[in-house]
Amino acid sequence: MSIKKRRKLAHEITGDIGISLVISLFTFCFLYFMSSSIAERYMENSGRALTDGQQYVMNVWIMSVCAIACAVLFTVLFIFMSGKRISYLTTIIREIENLKHPGGRVDIVPEGNDELTELAESINYMSGMQADMIEREKAMREERELFVRNLSHDIRTPLTSMISYSQMMSEKDVISGDEAGKYAEMMLRRSVQIKELTDRLLDDRAGTPERIDSVRFLMEQLLSEWTEMLEDSFACDIAVEGDAAASVDVYAVRRILDNLASNVEKYADDSERVTISVKISADDTERRCALAIHQENAIRKTPAVSESRGIGLESVRQLAAMYVGSADVSMTEEEFSMDVVMYFERI
């Protein structure tokens, strides 16, 4: 707000006061002298002579009446000349009251070129900033809630596996050392995964890519785990093509595979084979590695009851988007397929 603008409003108000005062003084003088002249002529025509005391009282009375009339005139003139600014100020005050209400937004039309105009523009700016902050807070809250739902859904997959392994161990009367070691290894792996997911819940930053000298070897390991999750109920076909060295977010890739496995358990037809294939390709021009995952299965006629409501697939889309990728679903009444593409930096 410039000093010039601050002075301009003061000058305008001073000018209104000055003009009103000049007109009022002129009117006072005109009324006073005219009234005195009329009174003197009236006395002369009526043949009356006033004493000095009476003359003084009459002058005071005329002066008082003229002063009151001029005061009223001054007030009317000042209000008339400043009425537009007063009305504008009233509008500004009324709009400010709207800012007290949640989500209230004002849009005052700027008028004139003084401090009131700048005040209106400042209020409009503050109103816009407040509305933007509310929208950002709402978006952040919805994003956080979605993140927590997706992560909570992802935690259930390894937790379900741990429960299954525990039940299998408890149902067997005798467990060989090899079986016990196998189950312990599986449960340890799932426990570590749950820890990673809970750590992720406390820190929702993007995952940290790891140096992987052979992405093919990594995917073969992860697909082996994926097959172990489903082997009790489904026949699985896996295939890995290509290889490259890249910085890969193993955490994100594992979460994607877990969500695909969870989707298979809920909706796939266990009488048909489930297939998943991975294609690894290196782009020398852009120095990046493309990881393409294709998974398909027949759809069960009566799918298992699920409370996920597509949360798993949405989580896959978000994870792929973190690495400039995509996740596309193709589904008919009989078959489901999903293509996931992620891009990682080559090393």
Structure confidence at residue 1 (pLDDT) = 41
Residue (of 302, 239, 292, 293) closest to 268 by Cα position: 302
If you average pLDDT over each of 87-91, 191-195, 253-257, 295-299, which comes out highest? 295-299
Burial class (CB in 10 A: 0-12, 13-18, 19+), 262: buried
- Name the more confident of 258 and 179: 258
Per-residue pLDDT reduced to its tens digit, 211-242: 999 999 999 999 998 898 888 889 999 999 99
**Mean pLDDT computed over every residue of the chain:** 81
Name the percent of the chain lying above pLDDT 90.
27
Name the percent of the chain lying above pLDDT 70.
86
pLDDT(202) > 70: no
Full-model pTM: 0.51
pLDDT(34) > 70: yes
Worst-scoring range by mean pLDDT, 159-163, 213-217, 244-248?
A: 159-163
pLDDT(337) > 90: yes
